Amino acid sequence: MRFKGAVLTLLALITSSILAACGSTPTAVPTAAPTAAATAATPAATTAATTAAAPAATTAATTAAATAAATTDAAPANSTLAVGIVLPTKDEPRWIQDETRFREALTAAGYQVEILFSQGDSAKEKANVEALLTKGIKVLIICPQDGTAAAAAADEARKAGVKVISYDRLIRETDAVDYYVTFDSLAVGANQAQYLVDNAKGTGNPLYLYAGAASDNNAFLFFEGAWKVLQPKIADGTFVIKNSKEADALKAKAELTREEQVKIIGQVTTDWKFDVAKKHADGDLTNATAADKGTVFILAPNDGTARAIADTFAADKDVKTYYVTGQDAEKASVQYIIDGKQSMTVFKDVRVEVKDAIEAAVSMLEGKTPTSTSKYNNGKIDVPATQSPVISVDKANVKAALIDSNYYQASDFTGL
């Protein structure tokens, strides 16, 4: 009866949250709203139905959440710790958003939850999982710092009889993953690349490639999605790669093997870190000639690295105009888009991903199997998964996508 009541409470929470507010120097050139071509580039696996189900999240003060590496929420006296969550770092706005929304939704649904951060350390991540297992959790939701290294933690959870939900990033090389909740990662890269293609004119356009961390399976999916769109335009001369000999050597290949992606990403990785991204951009511009600059096109993997890269390119006197991609719709990057400093971002509605993870966890707590819409191979098994769609956002549709949807408040920004 408690599980049924909790589910009803959770559904009521999701419903009510829909009604709540969620809370010469070159310039990045904003353009019209995403084209049909960008939509077509989105892989068919995307489940559009998820969009209609997307709840509006309530606003939360993330500053307070960021001050603690672990948060335990009070629960009814007769409850036990049902769900343990491990997130990669509290130093990035994206994961603070997730922490806040997880905590509120699960607590309101009647489940005690503890949320720990691994701070970019796989050893700490494993220790976090072990600590949660000793407290008797029934379901583990984990976003791995290193997808392969996290296999050991998943194996321990399986031995303890705990269900494992891989969140946002896929845990690789183990059969101890019960479910995967993610966004359509191929579509993220495809939307980023399509934006660059839509704004390129003529031939010989300088293209600078950057990627996420080689330890993150999503970095490969993002790059794969982008490469499928960019490669034909690299092959026909629309773009010329300026900062990766590995990518340039493979420009004739429409599909890359994992090993080939490893070589490219190893050369252009930002490791998801702002300082690493800036260092790479500095080095690339130092090595580039004036002819390699002018109007440039930059595949940046996420918003944090996009801002660091954009600032670096903006400071170079030979760069006249740049188009730079991003993802996550972080507040700072939304302001950059409004101000013309960042061209676009790929909006991944965290409210949807959190909702999907919670629904899967509740199903598992009730002894049921969560509904899956796709599968991802992690090197050992095909993991049942649900994936949410993404939206390309630039200056033309930023208000409609992020303000009118109640994801952010207009008062969070200037110049709208």
Q: pTM here? A: 0.78
pLDDT band at 384 (very low <50, low <70, confident <90, very high): very high
pLDDT tens digits, 289-309: 999 999 999 999 999 999 999
Identify the pLDDT of residue 80. Answer: 65
Separation CA 415–CA 135 (nearest Å) = 48
Backbone φ and ψ of 101, nearest 5°:
-70, -35
> Same CATH topology for 2-23+47-177+350-389 and 185-347?
yes
Local confidence band at 26 (pLDDT 50, 70, 90 cut-offs)? low
- Its CATH class, for the domain covering 2-23+47-177+350-389, is alpha beta
Is the CATH number of domain 185-347 3.50.50.60? no
Q: By three-state DSSP, how is residue 324 classified? A: strand
pLDDT the model gives residue 109 = 82
The domain segmentation of the chain, as residue ranges, is 2-23+47-177+350-389, 185-347
Distances (CA, A) of 110 to 101, 103, 134, 229: 14, 11, 21, 45
Q: Grade residue 31 by pLDDT with cuts at 50, 70 and 90.
A: very low
How many residues does this entry show for the chain?
416
